[in-house]
Chains A and B, each alone.
Chain A
Amino acid sequence: MNPLTGYLLVAALLFAIGLAGALTRRNAILVLVGIELMLNAANLNLIAFWRYGPHPELLTGMMFAIFSIAVAAAEAAVGLGLVIQIHRHAHTTDLDAMSRMKG
């Protein structure tokens, strides 16, 4: 098996696990945890393609992954800030309990 195929399969597996976590957990923070796993899987894909692709000296994959890491960190910060503020308002982080638009 091609080494690239191995890395891509691992990335696909991590993505699927992250997606399952984001869709099935009740706690809003664990949904964000699932989203972070999905972003990490995409980063792994980028780096694997950079390494085994045709022009690794152009650094495209590595740059994309570094920017993705930075943006994902910012998004985690804002997302978790929102979850904390919602908890202050509704006194719960249970997504199934927050099913109405009216606060």
Chain B
Amino acid sequence: MSIVFYVIAGLSVAGALAAVLLKNTVHCALALTLAFAGLALLFLELDAQFAGFAQILVYIGAVAILVVFAILLTRGSETPHETVYSRNPLVGLVTAAAIFAVLGWAVLHSSQALPGPAGTPTAEPQVTVMDIGNALMGRYVLPLEIVALLLTAALIGAVIVAMHEKEAAR
């Protein structure tokens, strides 16, 4: 395992931890951006160039800004009166720790069953954007059309949900 992987993974995990632990919500959003950037670098490390750049474009360029706007529009950046955690945070922590334990155990105990002996690298898949385009228009054309429909519905839905109600003025 190379040093690059450890550095980028450490960055992502640090960003994620900061995103759920910090008190100031805008700082949480910026730490989330750091986690997204770390994940994009991990995708690039895994030779998934298109997915990495799409992650930067969509998540850092759009979702992070959306989260920040929502925080500003709901005045989340003011200091809260009580603590920022809910009434019993212990239940959530125990659940998350249990899930991590189960997943970690499953991953570590199945490493003998994975194809290819540990340590020999599999060949780098040479994926060009043209292959992705051909796949999207060939094998995955039905999911593409469904995602297009879903995104249109989400766009219209988000506009309607967030619109100012006209009856409130009367």
Contact = CB atoms under 8 A, between A and B. Distances in A.
A12 B157 contact: no
Nearest to A13: B13
A43 B46 CA distance: 12
A73 B83 CA distance: 29
Contacts of A83: 70, 74
Interface in B3-54: 5, 9, 12-13, 16-17, 19-20, 25, 28-29, 32, 35-36, 39, 42-43, 46-48, 50-51, 54
Given A9-B107, A24-B89, A33-B20, A47 B76 contact: no
Interface string B120-149: 011001010001100110001001000100
Interface string B55-78: 100110011001101110111100
Interface residues of B, number: 84
A72 B51 CA distance: 14
Contact of B84 (A25, A75, A80): A25
A81 B125 CA distance: 40
Q: By DSSP majority rule, is chain B's interface helix, strand, loop, or mixed?
A: helix
Range of interface residues on A (Cβ < 8 Å): 35 or more
A57 B124 CA distance: 10
B154 A95 contact: no
B118 A16 contact: no
Contact of A37 (B19, B46, B48): B19
A96 to B, nearest CB: 6
Given A1-B118, A16-B103, A73 B62 contact: yes
Nearest to B98: A16
A27 B104 contact: no
A61 B68 CA distance: 30
B100 A13 contact: yes
Contact of A36 (B63, B85, B116, B162): B63
B169 interface: no
Nearest to A65: B51
A25 B83 CA distance: 9
B48 A65 contact: yes
B163 to A, nearest CB: 9
A12 B107 contact: yes
Interface of A: 1-10, 12-27, 29-30, 32-34, 36-37, 40, 43-44, 47-48, 50-54, 56-57, 59, 62-63, 65-67, 69-78, 80-85, 87, 93-96
10 contacts: A7-B5, A8-B107, A16-B97, A20-B20, A24-B20, A29-B67, A47-B42, A69-B51, A74-B155, A82-B161
